[in-house]
Amino acid sequence: MTPTSIIPAIMARPPVSETPRGGPVAPAEAAAHAGEDAALRGAAEIAGPGDRAALATQEPPAGQPSHVYPLGSRLNEAGHLEIGGCDVLELAREFGTPAYVYAEDHIRARAAAYREAFAARTDRFEIVYASKAFPHIAANRILSAEGLSCDVASGGELFMALRGGFAPERIYLHGNNKSEDELAYAAEQGVGHIVVDSFDELERLERMAPGQAILLRVTPGIEPATHAYISTGQEDSKFGFGLDELPRAIERAHRLDLRGLHAHIGSQIFDLEPFAKLAQVLSEICDFPLLNLGGGLAIAYTSDQDPPSIDEYVETLLEGAPEGVTVLCEPGRSLVGNAGVTLYTVGTVKEIPGVRTYVAVDGGMSDNPRPMLYGARYEADIADRVGGERMCAVAGKHCESGDVLIRDVALDDPRPADVLVTPVTGAYAHTMASNYNALPRPPIVFCREGDARLVTRRETYEDLALRDIV
């Protein structure tokens, strides 16, 4: 059934007047966040005027790190890589390795780019941080202060969002199999919207929280060109209601406050066309007040990649959406991905003549499973000798042959004790980290204008034993 053919089957709902929630921060909120204004100005200086996201895709000056590094990264006078104004070698000395390091102004600048892109075109929008990308209290604090809302995919992410300062009414709870405990927790906390995924959940929620504001998650049958594991909009998906099922779900939701539709077609999407199609498909279904078009804007993981700017992405979303509707989007990776890098120390260099040189570091698949999970490609540099010509593989230290972070990367003559940096680990790295081989998980350090603050300490061996009952 095509979207147009289901329209008659759906009750036409009059648009409900909706206070725009993604727009400029309300006065009371603005006062509470006054301290962040200076930070925002700092971000503006780093990124320069205009679309900061577009700036991030420009060629770096000769001898400077590539555009995949956080905004403001540079080689300092000593020739060392600097992130958020902090010398990476000094960070490695102070906090040890492996360590996740973020330039926090990069996160602010990306949030501002989203806000500016929407505000230039409409006052009916809401930018919802997909916190699964990096569900951390410090990041949540920055993004809540920037006026964003939050998408959480579990009770745990909800807890972190509340701790991170998101007002409950600005939170969207997702998940294809939310437990009764999670639904009860959300209702008790006054979560603004629950994104309902199935008929079982409709029934459950009606029973537990009649009148709760909801969106219905739709699988619109759109398949963007991305990895199958991060493609979610196709019909054959565990998520949401297919277009055929939607009319029945809308009818079925009468004891809940159905405010709109949601769809997320996938992640790391370079081609904007599927987003335009999504906006069109959803807006043809019914005139609900809210239209949530998900996340998924691609970022550059390697210097040859050139994703669309935030401005182009927002333009596409809004072009397809009807007048009077509040458009929501849920960026995760594009807010925090390029903000973070991982520091490692090289332990061994194994050269197999004519075959390959393995540079082994003190982390691997436990702190970044994405190369193994999705075949994700990364780049790397030696922190005080950026660039280079010796082709190497960067291997982790786990007991798995597949524990290779990068298959081919040109480095400058790597040797034991070098600090090696992999950029673009700000999203889906810390949050997907494990304790495989009983490796303690790395600390997280936030850097800004030359100051480094520890926001998560390194795990200890004692932490590893903490939950075991013997």
| Cα atoms found within 13 Å of the Cα of residue 133, Cβ hemisphere only | 33
Instruction: Please give the backbone phi and psi of residue 439, each rounded to the nearest 5 degrees, phi first.
Output: -85, 130
d(CA 384, CA 380) in angstroms, rounded, equals 12
Q: Is 240 in the site for ligand PLP (CB under 6 A)?
A: no
Binding window for ligand PLP (CB under 6 A); candidates: 46-54, 87-95, 327-335, 431-439: 327-335
The token pair that represents 9 in the structure block: 């089957």
Interacting residue with ligand PLP among 333, 370, 430, 441 (CB under 6 A): 333
Please identify which of the residues 86, 286, 399, 447 carries the catalytic annotation: 399
Footprint (CB under 6 A) of ligand PLP, residues 126-145: 130, 132-133
16 three-class SS: coil
d(CA 204, CA 154) in angstroms, rounded, equals 16
In angstroms, what is the C-alpha Rg of the chain? 23
Active-site residue, 399 included: yes
Q: Is 295 in the site for ligand PLP (CB under 6 A)?
A: yes
Q: Are 187 and 168 in contact (CB under 8 A)?
A: no
Q: Is 294 in the site for ligand PLP (CB under 6 A)?
A: yes
Binding window for ligand PLP (CB under 6 A); candidates: 90-98, 328-336, 391-399, 431-439: 328-336
Instruction: Please give the backbone phi and psi of residue 43, each rounded to the nearest 5 degrees, phi first.
Output: -65, -40
Least distance in Å: CB of 27 to ligand PLP?
30
Interacting residue with ligand PLP among 331, 363, 423, 442 (CB under 6 A): 331
Q: Is 422 in the site for ligand PLP (CB under 6 A)?
A: no
Least distance in Å: CB of 128 to ligand PLP?
8
Comparing CA positions, the residue from 124, 139, 114 lying closest to residue 47 is 114
Fill in the DSSP letter of residue 130.
Answer: E
d(CA 420, CA 346) in angstroms, rounded, equals 7
Q: Is 73 in the site for ligand PLP (CB under 6 A)?
A: no
The token pair that represents 330 in the structure block: 């849920």
Interacting residue with ligand PLP among 175, 296, 364, 443 (CB under 6 A): 296
d(CA 129, CA 167) in angstroms, rounded, equals 13
Least distance in Å: CB of 234 to ligand PLP?
13
Least distance in Å: CB of 293 to ligand PLP?
10
Interacting residue with ligand PLP among 332, 369, 396, 443 (CB under 6 A): 332
Binding window for ligand PLP (CB under 6 A); candidates: 138-146, 197-205, 332-340, 447-455: 332-340
Interacting residue with ligand PLP among 330, 362, 367, 381 (CB under 6 A): 330
Q: Is 174 in the site for ligand PLP (CB under 6 A)?
A: yes
CA 319 to chain centre: 24
Binding window for ligand PLP (CB under 6 A); candidates: 45-53, 325-333, 389-397, 451-459: 325-333
d(CA 36, CA 94) in angstroms, rounded, equals 27
- First-to-last C-alpha distance (Å) of the chain: 58
Least distance in Å: CB of 166 to ligand PLP?
15
Task: Please name every residue paired with 357 in a beta bridge, in sequence order, or none if there are none.
Answer: 351
Residue type, 90: E
Torsion-angle region of 65 (φ positive above 0: left; ψ -120 to 50: alpha; else: beta)? beta
Comparing CA positions, the residue from 50, 45, 75 lying closest to residue 60 is 75
- The residue with tokens 């903000």 is 339
Least distance in Å: CB of 112 to ligand PLP?
17
Interacting residue with ligand PLP among 267, 309, 366, 368 (CB under 6 A): 267
Q: Are 201 and 176 in contact (CB under 8 A)?
A: no
Closest to ligand PLP by CB, 404 vs 427, is 427
Interacting residue with ligand PLP among 151, 362, 379, 381 (CB under 6 A): 151
Closest to ligand PLP by CB, 147 vs 296, is 296
Q: Active-site residue numbers?
A: 399
Q: Rule CB under 6 A: which residues touch ligand PLP?
A: 130, 132-133, 151, 174, 232, 264, 267, 294-297, 330-334, 427
